[in-house]
Amino acid sequence: MLDSTPSTVADRVALKINPAKTCQPVGAVYAALGVHGCLPHSHGSQGCCAYHRSHLTRHFKEPVMASTSSFTEGSSVFGGMANLTQAFSTIFEMYDPDIVAVHTTCLSEVIGDDIPTIISKAREEGRIPEGKVVVHCNTPSFVGSHVTGFSAMVKGFVKYLSENTGTRSTAINILPGWVEPSDMTELKRMVAAFGLPSIMLPDTSSVLDAPATGEHAFFPKGGTTLPEIKAMGDAKATLSLGTWASLEAATLLETSCGVPFQELDLPIGLAATDRFIESLRGLAGVDVPAQIEDERGRLVDVISDMHQYLSGRKVAIYGDPDHVIALTEFCRDMDMKPVHVLTGSVGNAFETRIKDLLADSVPDANVKAQGDLFLLHQWIKNEPVDLLLGTTYGKFIGRAEDIPLVRVGWPILDRVGHSYFPTVGYLGSLRLAVEIISAIQERQDRDAPDHAFELVL
């Protein structure tokens, strides 16, 4: 269905075709779901909230709960204060959350609704019960992406709740970035292996990968608790994983609470996980546990054994900037050639970082921030690749150009398992490496003539 995409690349400034991102409020909802007892609230039209919920539901194959201010024509003209204050009354009466996380939309941002003032008025009127918490962040859809919306919501939790009591704890803060519930579980496992107490924000494990028990729980057992978010201000350090999704909250924790932070890439792949493990080793003051060293060794073993299938393979990588940076480094380290690298999010730092990573191996790679999949398809028409690495949306390019796709990142709408099996750490990277190798071998089998169709590859 994309067979008619032209190969001639033309400059486009005001037009995006099949953008490699979606809007900020989606990220705000996902971040809020990682807080225990939290109900995300969309301050805008009912249609916006329905889209955000359905898109997340399609990825996680789990029901995603959120409320909305349900703007009508009147509120679109005169403002949404009445809608939001009434929403607070309804939410706490019907659903009784511990916390409501309000995010704005295009409509409420254009109107100019002052959310902190509305929250204060609602509390004065008794619409927010004693002991209940309301936080907010600004997430207009006409700027940024779902990643920046996620970042804004995490920063909002820190701004409203984290406190420095003057007594430092031994815990470390983990800001995991936009990753799967399975990745958050794996990150906590690796941190615990060093004997480090930790607080993760957000934490969607046991929320969006919760088991079926036969009983419905409106607020699942998982998520970062309010006392834990408050205690983040007393932690001894923060590990910020992914610049786009986590750095703002880490910076705020340092400036407002004096918690120093280390900025790291998402620990996907060998080198990025090595840096994460080295940070944990330094904070814990212990040697790397033998279990972790063994996991690293298995990843190295598989990459070494399968090098003949990986070496020189051209790959196109697209998706969220934090994911794409880590995936690009991983592919480079496996001796693959990332010739096309693209994200839909903004930021000159993305292009600079990718070009630095590929300076020695693929110096002429196509790299683009705030790009779209139409451009990626045009690049591929001019220089074909052996593999696509990214979200479900790339399947149309894969079909048009007959290229295998390994699904990674968000969203994955047409497969299952990503919520349950990690991509981060040595174990997650091993799984991803096996998927990449298997895709290449499947293609080799499919295309092999009879005389070369081997039982053992």
CATH number for the domain that contains residue 274: 3.40.50.1980
Same domain, 42 and 150: yes
* DSSP secondary structure of 339-378: EEEEESS--HHHHHHHHHHTTTT-TT-EEESS-BHHHHHH
Dihedrals phi, psi of 134, to nearest 5 degrees? -130, 130
How far is the CA of 366 from the CAs of 341, 356, 378, in angstroms?
Answer: 6, 13, 11
Of 101, 129, 160, the position where a domain reaches its end is 160
Catalytic residue from among 23, 49, 64, 106: 106
Is residue 384 pLDDT above 90, yes or no? yes
Q: Output the pLDDT for position 32.
A: 98
Q: Three-state DSSP class for 409?
A: coil
Contact 116, 136 (CB under 8 A): yes
Q: Which amino acid is at 361?
A: S
Same domain, 84 and 207: no
In-domain check, residue 14:
no
Same domain, 245 and 115: no
Is residue 332 pLDDT above 90, yes or no? yes
Q: Three-state DSSP class for 271?
A: helix
Same domain, 205 and 264: yes
In-domain check, residue 13:
no
Is residue 199 pLDDT above 90, yes or no? yes
Count Cβ atoms below 10 Å from residue 21 Cβ, excluding itself. Answer: 23
In-domain check, residue 4:
no
Percent of the chain with pLDDT over 90: 86
Same domain, 112 and 235: no
Angle between helices 243-257 and 321-333 (to 10 degrees): 120
Q: Output the pLDDT for position 348.
A: 85
Catalytic residue from among 9, 110, 286, 416: 110
Same domain, 215 and 250: yes
Domain that holds residue 107: 24-160
Same domain, 270 and 353: no
In-domain check, residue 167:
no
Contact 386, 433 (CB under 8 A): no
Alpha-carbon gap, residue 79 to 69, rounded angstroms: 11
Contact 423, 183 (CB under 8 A): yes
* DSSP-assigned letter for residue 19: B
Of 272, 288, 304, the position where a domain reaches its end is 288
Let me know if 110 is a catalytic residue: yes
In-domain check, residue 165:
no
Same domain, 246 and 301: no
Is residue 10 pLDDT above 90, yes or no? no
Q: Output the pLDDT for position 1.
A: 58
Same domain, 105 and 140: yes
Alpha-carbon gap, residue 191 to 194, rounded angstroms: 6
In-domain check, residue 155:
yes
In-domain check, residue 15:
no
The total of structural domains in the chain comes to 3
In-domain check, residue 11:
no
pLDDT in tens, 68-110: 999 887 777 767 899 999 999 999 999 999 999 999 998 899 8
Which residues lie across from 388 on neighbouring strands?
316, 405
Count Cβ atoms below 10 Å from residue 43 Cβ, excluding itself. Answer: 31
Contact 358, 381 (CB under 8 A): no
Same domain, 130 and 182: no
Q: Output the pLDDT for position 130.
A: 95
Same domain, 113 and 206: no
Same domain, 446 and 301: yes
Let me know if 23 is a catalytic residue: no
Q: In whole numbers, what is the pLDDT of the chain averaged over residues?
A: 95
Average pLDDT over residues 38-42: 97
* DSSP secondary structure of 170-226: S-EEEE--S--HHHHHHHHHHHHHTT--EEESS--TTTSSPPP-SS--SS-S-SB-H
Percent of the chain with pLDDT over 70: 99
Is residue 14 pLDDT above 90, yes or no? no
